[in-house]
Amino acid sequence: MTLRTGKLPPQTLKRLLRYRGADDPRVLIGPSVGEDAAVVKLGKSLLVLKTDPVTYASDMIGWYAVNVNANDIATRGAKPAWFQAVILLPEGSKEALAEDIFKQISSAAKALGIAVTGGHTEVTPGIDHPIVVGDMHGVLDGRRPITTSGARVGDAIVLTKAAGIEGTAAIAREKRAELLRVFNKFFVDRAANYIKDPGLSVVREAEVALRHKVTAMHDPTEGGVRMGVHELAFASGKSVELLEDFVPVRMETKRICAKYDIDPLGLLGSGALLATFRLEDAERYVMSLRRVGIPATVIGRVIAGKNKSCSIRGNRSTPLSSSERDEVLKVLGS
C-alpha cells in the first residue's frame, strides 16, 4: 500500500507498533495508537517522554515545536521540564534563520518553565523549508498518569478553546499574500496570531483538569477534532457521540476554511484539549476554566461498544468520519 502524506492509518500503525525493541518492565506506557506520550518508571518517579515534529509555519517553527510537545506531556498529568530538538535547515539557509529558531525555542521554553537540554542542528539536502523534531520530557510524582485510553462509558467529552486553532494559524502564516487578496489585514493578522491568542498551549487547562477527576486527556493534532475523538475512542476500546453543532469554531477559522473548502473539524488542532469526565465533573471543569478566561464546551459523550462512533448534527446521526490526513494538507501540502 502506498502511504499518503499525514499520519499513518491507525490499523497500519497498530501493526507496525509490534516492533518495539527489547522488553523493559520499567516501560509502563509504550507505543500505542492515540496515546500522546510514553511513561517510564524510574525509582519512585515516573518519567514522561514525547517526540513530535513541526513542518508548517516556518516563521514560528521553534515556538510551535516547544508548545506541541509540552502539550502531550501535560495530557499525561505531568509538568513539562526538559526539551531538545533536531533542527533541519534547507540548503542555502542563513545563519540568522538558525539563530531565530534557537531564540524561539528558548522563549517558548522559558515561558513554560522548561529547560533546553541539547539537540542537533544541521543543513539537510532534499528539503525546501525548516523542520524541527522536538523531544520533551517531564516528571510525574505521586500521581497516576492520565491516558487517552481512560475514557469511561457515560463520560462527557470536553473541548477547550476551539477547533482548528493550529491549522488556522499555519494557513494564515503560509498563505498570507493569498489571503490578503480576500480578507483585510486585520483579519489575516488575527488569524496568524492564533499561535499566541488563543494560543497553542494546553498546559494550563490540563493542570486544571487534574482537579476535576479527569478520566482521559488527548491533544488533537493531525486530523483535528474528528481524528482526536476517534483516537480517544480507539484507545479506550469504546465509541463516541460527537455533537457537531456544539463544537466551537472561531470566525477566522470558519471563513478561511470556507475559502479553501476544508472542514474545520479536520484541521490541525493543537491549542485545544480533549478531556473526558463524569458529566457533573465536566460541568465544574468548564466553569473553572471560564473563570480564568479559557472557553470550554461539552461536545459529546463516550458510549459502549466498538466502531459505533457517530456524529450528530441537528436531528441527524451519521457514522463518525475522520481522516489521518489533515485538512491543512489540501492547502499547504500535496
Neighbours of 179 (CB within 10 A): 23
On the question of pLDDT at 334 being above 60, the answer is no
Decide: helix, strand or coil at residue 196. Answer: coil
Taking the C-alpha atoms of residue 179 and residue 56, their distance in angstroms, rounded to an integer, is: 17
Question: What's the pLDDT score for residue 59?
Answer: 85
Question: What's the pLDDT score for residue 333?
Answer: 75
Annotated domain spans of the chain:
22-140, 148-332
Taking the C-alpha atoms of residue 33 and residue 28, their distance in angstroms, rounded to an integer, is: 15
Taking the C-alpha atoms of residue 267 and residue 126, their distance in angstroms, rounded to an integer, is: 27
Q: What is the pLDDT of residues 215-231, one digit of tens each?
A: 999 999 889 999 999 99
Exposed (0-12), middle (13-18) or buried (19+): which is 35, by Cβ within 10 Å? Answer: buried
Taking the C-alpha atoms of residue 96 and residue 3, their distance in angstroms, rounded to an integer, is: 35
Task: Look at 14-28, 32-46, 96-110, 252-266 and tell me which has the smallest mean pLDDT.
Answer: 32-46
Cis ω on the peptide bond leading into residue 198 (within 30° of 0)? yes
Question: What's the pLDDT score for residue 44?
Answer: 86
With bands split at pLDDT 50, 70 and 90, how would you rate the model's confidence at 112?
A: very high
| The C-alpha cell that represents 318 in the structure block | 451519521
Contact 158, 298 (CB under 8 A): yes
Top-ranked range on mean pLDDT: pick from 5-19, 258-272, 314-328: 258-272
- Convert 5-31 to b/e letters by CB count within 10 Å (16 or more is b): ebbebbeeeeeeeeeeeeeeeebebee
Taking the C-alpha atoms of residue 163 and residue 218, their distance in angstroms, rounded to an integer, is: 14
Question: What's the pLDDT score for residue 218?
Answer: 95
On the question of pLDDT at 85 being above 80, the answer is yes
Question: What's the pLDDT score for residue 322?
Answer: 81
On the question of pLDDT at 64 being above 80, the answer is yes
Cβ-proximal residues to 223 (8 Å cutoff; 6+ apart), any chain:
6, 7, 230, 231, 266, 269, 322, 323, 324, 325, 326
Q: What is the pLDDT of residues 126-141, one digit of tens each?
A: 999 999 999 999 999 7
| Superfamily of domain covering 148-332 | PurM-like C-terminal domain (3.90.650.10)
Pick the CATH number of 22-140 from 3.40.605.10, 3.30.1330.10, 3.40.47.10, 3.40.1190.20: 3.30.1330.10
The CB-side HSE value for 116 (13 A sphere, CA atoms) comes to 22
As a whole number, the mean pLDDT across the chain is 93
